[in-house]
Structure 1
Amino acid sequence: MEAMTEPNAAYRLTGLTLKNGWVVGERLKTGTEAGGSGGFFSVSYAVSKDGRTAFLKAFDLVKALKRGQAQGRSLVSILGDQAKAFTFETDLHDLCAGAKLRRVVRIIDHGEVDVPPEGHEQILQIPYMIMELADGGDVRGYLGKNTAVDLEMKLTYLKDVVLGLFQLHGVKIAHQDLKPSNVMIFGEVMAKVGDLGRASSQDHVSLHDNLDVAGDKNYAPPEQLYGYPLVGWLDRRMRCDLYQFASVIVFVFFGRTLNNALFEYLPQDIKPAFFHGTCSSYDTALPFLLSSFDTAISEWETQCPIWLGKDLMQIIRQAGHPDYLQRGARKALRQSVPQLGLDRFVSEFQRLILRASIEARKEASRAIA
């Protein structure tokens, strides 16, 4: 067994049999271990049962305790919050499964497992949830490919992601932490949105609802990074998801985040604290962000095939606009009751997928000739 970086009960599930017959296999590298941007108090494993494989997410209570105690919180309040977080996330997954959201990773089982004690440990009962295992990993493994066939695949994955967001919003859930590591690939033909650990529900309060940034700050929209106060569900939650989706598009096609492009060349007195700046005013920074956005859009268009560049830039411009009020499909925003129009983005990706298929056939014909 590999050396444990944090030797506590959550890291010692390998070999255990869970109450419903699932056998815990090897620990999976996720977050910073896998070259990503980290996670929130969880450890991942492969599990199997009757020839079926799945993905287990174990809650790392020791890490949560250490963080909470460093903040001066009591043991009771920390454990209480972790219990609420576990219940909230499993309830959201159960809701998604009941609504048959086919582009959201499905929960299979959840419960608690007793882990044999070691040393002076006190916490031995670890909550877990079991979900579909993405046999293709996450979308980060599909970067750097630019033939028409590969572009068709990327566009298909992105269509599935925005469809997953559309489905989540339809049951009043906002993801809040959409990033490449949470875009899971199944059979290399389908993508699903995974990890609802930082999601918000319009009908139920979660522990992180009051945070300026609920998820990964590398993918957070500018208004959140500058601490700009938003209250309404559409502006604060749904538009955050759409911005993060735009950043996933940028990452899939150009290998970087949208925030890196926006903040890279801004002076320090315009950048937010997360990007080592001193500015705390979204209104002050917005004109500079718009300029950076326009520059990036122009550069990215030149890196795309002629048939794709303009249309893809239109999607990024509408989904990832630094001005949150401009974020959304243009025709949907002009309706009497403004909407984001995620279904319109789905349709646009479907059109581009068809075009990519046509271009792939052309490439194949030229290769034969």
Structure 2
Amino acid sequence: MDYMDSLFAVCNLTGKSINGWEVINQLPEPDRSKGETGGNFSICYIVKKNGIECFMKVLDYRNCMTRPLRPHETRISVIEKATREFKYEMALSEHCNKHRVKNIITYVDGGECELTDFMFPTVTYIIYEKADCNIRKIINFSTKLVFTEKLKTISFKLKSLHDIALGVKQLHKIEISHQDLKPSNILSIGNNSKLGDLGRSLCLSTEVECPYSLSMFNGDWTYAPPEVFFNYRLSDDKERLYQMDNYMIGSLIVYYINGVSFNTLLDSKLSGGIRALAKTGISFDEARTYLLDAYHQSLLDFEESIPLEDLKEGLTKVVEYLCHPEPEKRGHPKNISKTNRTPNYDLERTISELDLFQRKAELNLYKK
């Protein structure tokens, strides 16, 4: 063990008791080469109480205090930022529990203790229910599956996507925009999928103090909707942020079917990709023609990749309205209608459609 690690309690919790939780083992750091992600200032463990295993995230004070500083950083600013964001994630988790949000990874416990055997004894932690794995590790993109296996796979995927859309709607109902909807943040628990990692979420509710600016996209830019690359913003914060989430739901649908995000499809149709287009300095209005052309071509590619004929049209239409590059035109067509009072970003119709598609896949399975 590294000498510095030996000084910090947070690096040595295996076999310890943390406020009644037995620490079973430390989890390995995310393998970024395989697309796995995780916080830069957290260490993760499996813990157990009353025979139930859970997942514990611990604030990594060692990294806060020893990692090299970036330009314009101070050590105190690094520590302050990490502790503020960790506290915010705990507050968001408590907010979700209070409002009984079901499709978010369940917050179990959180707090702080001191292990006096160490020079740096403080352990600040959040405990969640334990997931089986993230969705990236279990969905199958193979084109070699026989038809019955394809039906089982597509049915599972549609059930998971339904769970995700429902979870996002639940977050929106309590004024939270997830901002970081990507495969590594979709967790599988039994037959259900739940949203994980609220750490980058933006909360508009007065019940929780958000440490981030609401004016910017706060998630992984690999999955960001096109408008954020051009700093194009709808005037209403709620609509702007929720439509970002909706775009990422559409992108997840694409990923579930063919293993790439909708941004990857767009990039393949744009010279140099979205980032390169934005770096030319043109405005979003000037880029619309290029984005719309790439969008329509990408939809054709996606439709061709859908393995079941009777789902091609319906699934493509869902991606079409969720991933529209112009955020003011994003949303179910009935929501966009001028005669309708439902907000464009409302997901109720999308949830119903995904449920219907999953039932169709199940019905086809029973016919075989």
Q: TM-score range by the shorter chain?
A: 0.7 to 0.9
The 10-residue stretch of structure 1 (134-143 or 218-227) with the greater mean CA deviation from structure 2: 134-143
With over 3 angstroms needed to count, the CA separation of the structure-2 counterparts of 1:133 and 1:341, relative to structure 1, is same
After superposition, where does 1:1-369 map in structure 2 within 5 Å? 7=5, 9=8, 10-30=10-30, 32=32, 35-64=35-64, 69-114=69-114, 123-144=120-141, 147-187=150-190, 189-203=191-205, 204-209=208-213, 212-268=216-272, 271-272=274-275, 277-279=279-281, 281-304=283-306, 305-334=308-337, 335-336=340-341, 338-363=343-368
Q: Which amino acid in the other structure matches residue 156 of structure 1?
A: K
**C-alpha contact (below 8 Å) 1:179/1:248 kept by paired residues:** yes
Q: For structure 1, which runs of at least 5 residues remain unmatched after alignment?
A: 364-369
Contact kept in structure 1, 2:250 and 2:322, CA below 8 Å: yes
Q: CA contact under 8 A between 1:158 and 1:249: conserved in structure 2?
A: yes
Summarize the Cα distance change of 1:173–1:271 in structure 2 as closer, same or farther, 3 Å threshold: closer
> Structure 1 residue 21: deviation in Å?
2.6
Q: 1:271 to 1:98 in 2, by over 3 A?
A: closer
CA distance in 2, matches of 1:351, 1:306: 15
Cα offset for 1:261?
Answer: 1.1
| Per-residue CA distance 1:2-23 (angstroms, 9 max, x = gap) | x88x958444333322013332
Partner amino acid, structure 1, of 2:293: S
* 170 and 67 in structure 1: CA distance in 2 versus 1, 3 angstrom threshold: farther
Rounded to whole Å, the distance in 2 between the matches of 1:31 and 1:175 is: 23
**What is residue 367 of structure 1 aligned with on the other side?**
none
Which residue identity does 1:290 align to in structure 2? L
Question: In angstroms, what is the RMSD of aligned CA positions?
Answer: 2.7
Displacement, 1:31? Answer: 5.8
SS in 1 for 2:45: strand
Partner amino acid, structure 2, of 1:225:
F
- The CA deviation at 1:83 is 2.6
Give, in whole Å, the separation in 2 of the partners of 1:15 and 1:34. 30
Structure 1 residue 282 displacement after superposition: 2.3
Q: Structure 2: where are the runs of 5+ without partners?
A: 143-148
Preserved contact between residue 271 and residue 279 of structure 1 (Cα < 8 Å)? no
Residue 135 of structure 1 and its aligned partner are, at CA, apart by 1.9
**Structure 1 residue 49 displacement after superposition:** 1.8
Percent of aligned pairs with the same amino acid: 27
Is the alpha carbon distance of 1:322 and 1:83 closer, same or farther for their aligned partners in structure 2, counting shifts above 3 Å?
same
- Letter paired with 1:235: E
- Does 75-84 or 177-186 show the bigger shift? 75-84
TM-score, with length taken from structure 1: 0.86
1:40 to 1:213, Cα distance in 2 relative to 1, 3 A: farther
TM-score (norm 2): 0.87
In structure 2, relative to structure 1, the CA distance for the partners of 1:276 and 1:110 (3 Å cut) is: same
Q: Is the 8 Å Cα contact of residues 43 and 60 (structure 1) preserved in structure 2?
A: yes
Query: 2:134·2:183 contact (CA, 8 Å) conserved in 1?
Result: no
Q: CA deviation at 1:62?
A: 4.1
Count residues with an aligned counterpart: 354
